[in-house]
Amino acid sequence: MFLIADSGATKTEWALVSENGVQRSLTTKGFNPYYYQKEGFVSELKSELKEKLPELDIQSIFFYGAGCSTTENCRLVSESLSLVFPGARIEVGHDLYAAGLALFGRKKGIACILGTGSNSCLWDNKKIIANVPSLGFMLGDEGSGTHIGKLLLKGVLLGEADELLVKKFYETFDLDFSKALDRVYKTPAPNLFYSSLSPFVRDNLRNPFCRKVVESSFTAFVRRYLSRYADCRSLTVSFTGSVAFHFQDVLKTVLEANGMQPGSILSGPMEGLVAFHMEEH
């Protein structure tokens, strides 16, 4: 019996897996080691996870999460899990590594995440061979929900969108021009505000401006990141993440227009992680 965790900023998805497949799925809070001390992490694991898995012989835990990109952060997560599940073999990896395993496993390709943020890597046989850093929402994150929301907001504020869409936008979010600027510059976490706007784009994708926003964001992702990987036009490009999944028709069109080969597009990596680790076991 083993556990797989896919941890983001807001939630962690857990799968309890046996040789017969997934036995149980659970959701707990997100665990980003940049924001958790070990004591708090252990306490949350005991109350949110361990109590729901009593007396089970869990032999291995595979934890993949945002923030698990440094040796120190991976050690914090590993030590915390060891205190809650003594005796279990524990492996900790970054969310981009999870995407690579889920999408390609032992094969070669370009693995991408398009969700709240964006990231990508050249992957080959369980290894990240190259990574063009996405730089976060202030300097990059093209192709993400945050970037799409930012482009939508700019277009609304500058009058590039049609009047009906602008009116609908302001009514949907209870905003006007000045309130929108206040939300960006006078309140915390503008990136979360930007990303909260992307479902509006999805719901209005038939509007020419909204479609143009998504195409522009994906085109920027392709040209700034994917085009920098060796053999990018001969390798399959696959994705995990809610933005890739919900806008997959536009994404495939943009990839093909740039001479690239779209592969799998998953809403999240868990299905692929379960398949990979069952095969490895």
Task: Examine residue 249 and state whether it is found in any structural domain, yes or no.
Answer: no
- Stated pTM of the model: 0.87
In this structure, the strands spanning 108-114 and 236-240 are: parallel
Place 237 in a pLDDT band, splitting at 50, 70 and 90.
very high
Same domain, 77 and 146: no
**Residue 190 · residue 184 · CB < 8 Å:** yes
Please indicate, yes or no, whether residues 201 and 143 belong to a single structural domain of this protein: yes
Answer yes or no: is pLDDT of 138 > 80. Answer: no
Looking at 168, 188, 215, the residue that finishes a domain is 215
Residues 85 and 151 in one domain: no
pLDDT in tens, 262-278: 999 999 899 899 988 88
Sign of torsion over alpha carbons 165, 168, 174, 177: positive
Number of independent structural domains in the chain? 2
Q: Is the pLDDT of residue 137 over 80?
A: no
Write out the two tokens for 279.
Answer: 């095969």
- 215: tokens are 């195409």
Residue-level pLDDT at 39: 76
227 belongs to a structural domain? no
Q: What is the pLDDT of residue 55?
A: 64
Here the CATH number for the domain that contains residue 78 is 3.30.420.40
pLDDT computed for residue 32 by the predictor: 73
- Asked whether residue 195 is domain-assigned, the answer is yes
9-59: pLDDT as tens digits: 677 889 988 888 888 888 887 777 776 666 777 887 888 787 777 667 888
Q: What CATH code is carried by the domain that includes residue 145? A: 1.10.720.160
Residue at 150 is within a domain: yes
Q: Give the per-residue pLDDT at 100.
A: 95
Residue 73 confidence class, pLDDT cut points 50, 70, 90: confident
Q: Are 106 and 197 spatial neighbours (Cβ–Cβ below 8 Å)?
A: no
Mean pLDDT over 88-96 rounds to: 91
